[in-house]
Amino acid sequence: MTIGNVIKKYRKNKGMTQEEMAACLGVTAPAVNKWERGSTMPDIALLAPIARLLGITTDELLSFQDELTDEEIDQYLSKVQKDLESKDFHDVFLSVKEKIEEYPNCENLIWPAAVILDAKRMTTEPPNKDRYDSVIFGWFERCLLSEDEQMRNQAADSLFHAYFRQENYEKAVQYLDYFSLENPERKRKEALVNSKTGKRAEAYRAYEELIYSGYQHIQMALNDLRILYMEDENHEMARKLVEISSAAASAFEMGRYSEVCFGLEVAAWEKDAAWTARLVREILDSVDSIGDFTKSKLYQHMLLKSIAPDVSAGIKQELLKSLGDETFSYMQGNEDWERLKRDAYK
């Protein structure tokens, strides 16, 4: 929205004529008329008085406010994508540029519009595609100033990939500072740069660490979700999550012990004697494999310490002690259970 349109809109909202506005500002009515038609611009000294008279801020007067709704933005971006299919890229680019100049602080318009144009020029290769760098990258840079962390991260991600694409790795890594040290995306991007700059060992190790930590987070979430379903007496989902946890342990090569240990709590909760006996036997038989993941080639570049024998021995001893606990009272007298205890203490 131009400054003339803003003046016209808020003047009418105030129920004020051009003559009345002119009288208040000490200018002529034709001057106000020219502002509203876009023929001339108000003198800079009049911006603050005009804003006060209209009951708006100078930012609003200069159209520095987000005046587009989410629906309007979605409709406009859809139109841009359709136009890119049928019109010349440069014409669409100029149209988007004009729109952003109209709403220069509308981050929810600027970032996705820049992404759409950037992706289109990469796939269609318009003439002199690099000439758009300064403007498109400038839009991303503008979004880096956002108060919204997600918008800053999105803009930083776009700039990282833009410079990475140009093989300007030194510039690309500068945008990693917008991601927290705990954000796995930062580590993944660092690994990506390392893989292209002769630091392949560091890249391998970083990717493996991401896989390993990702597995830990997955299992914690699966465990918490399983407990939630157990609290709601949802047996089907509790069992399903045990299956998923076991499959994840297998996929991430965590060793046989990790594959079989997840179901015991659910088996005890359900008082499923056959399942309990089978699981405890499998756990006891596989407890020595608890550190097998340290031997997996999936983590061969990580500095993983092997699990000391006394750790697995301790786990086995604790499990054997628990066989007589109240938790497994439903197993007392079960033939398989008694045989298991006898075999375990031989």
Residues 17 and 141 in one domain: no
CA distance 293 to 281: 21
In a domain, 201, yes or no: no
Last residue of a domain, one of 169, 196, 223: 196
- Helices 3-13 and 47-54, interaxial angle, to 10°? 30
In a domain, 250, yes or no: yes
In a domain, 202, yes or no: no
Residues 143 and 236 in one domain: no
In a domain, 279, yes or no: yes
Mean pLDDT of 27-51: 91
Q: Please give the structure tokens belonging to residue 279.
A: 């699981």
Residues 127 and 91 in one domain: yes
pLDDT(66) > 60: no
| DSSP three-state, residue 346 | coil
Residue by residue, DSSP assigns 157-180 as HHHHHHHHHTT-HHHHHHGGGGS-
pLDDT(78) > 90: yes
SS (H, E, C) 266-313: HHHHHCCHHHHHHHHHHHHHHHHHCCHHHHCHHHCCCCCCCCCHHHHH
Residues 337 and 212 in one domain: yes
Residues 44 and 124 in one domain: no
Q: Could you give the number of structural domains in the chain?
A: 3
In a domain, 203, yes or no: no
Q: What is the pLDDT of residues 242-285, one digit of tens each?
A: 999 999 999 999 999 999 999 999 999 999 999 999 998 899 88
Cβ-proximal residues to 295 (8 Å cutoff; 6+ apart), any chain: none
Question: Is the distance from CB of 94 to CB of 113 less than 8 angstroms?
Answer: no
pLDDT(41) > 70: yes
Mean pLDDT of 224-235: 97
In a domain, 124, yes or no: yes
In a domain, 116, yes or no: yes
Residues 163 and 76 in one domain: yes
Q: What is the pLDDT of residues 132-186, one digit of tens each?
A: 999 999 999 999 999 899 999 999 999 999 999 999 999 999 999 999 988 999 9
Q: Calculate the alpha carbon distances from 303 to 188, 202, 204, 210, 212 in Å.
A: 18, 12, 12, 13, 12
Last residue of a domain, one of 176, 196, 216: 196
Domain that holds residue 32: 3-61
Residues 340 and 218 in one domain: yes
In a domain, 27, yes or no: yes
Residues 135 and 28 in one domain: no
CA atoms within 13 A on the CB side of 275: 15
Residues 191 and 171 in one domain: yes
Residues 90 and 21 in one domain: no
> pLDDT band for position 346 (50/70/90)?
low
CATH of the domain at 146: 1.25.40.10
Amino acid 235: pLDDT: 97
Last residue of a domain, one of 173, 196, 219: 196
Residues 212 and 317 in one domain: yes
CA distance 247 to 342: 31
CATH of the domain at 34: 1.10.260.40
Residues 258 and 309 in one domain: yes
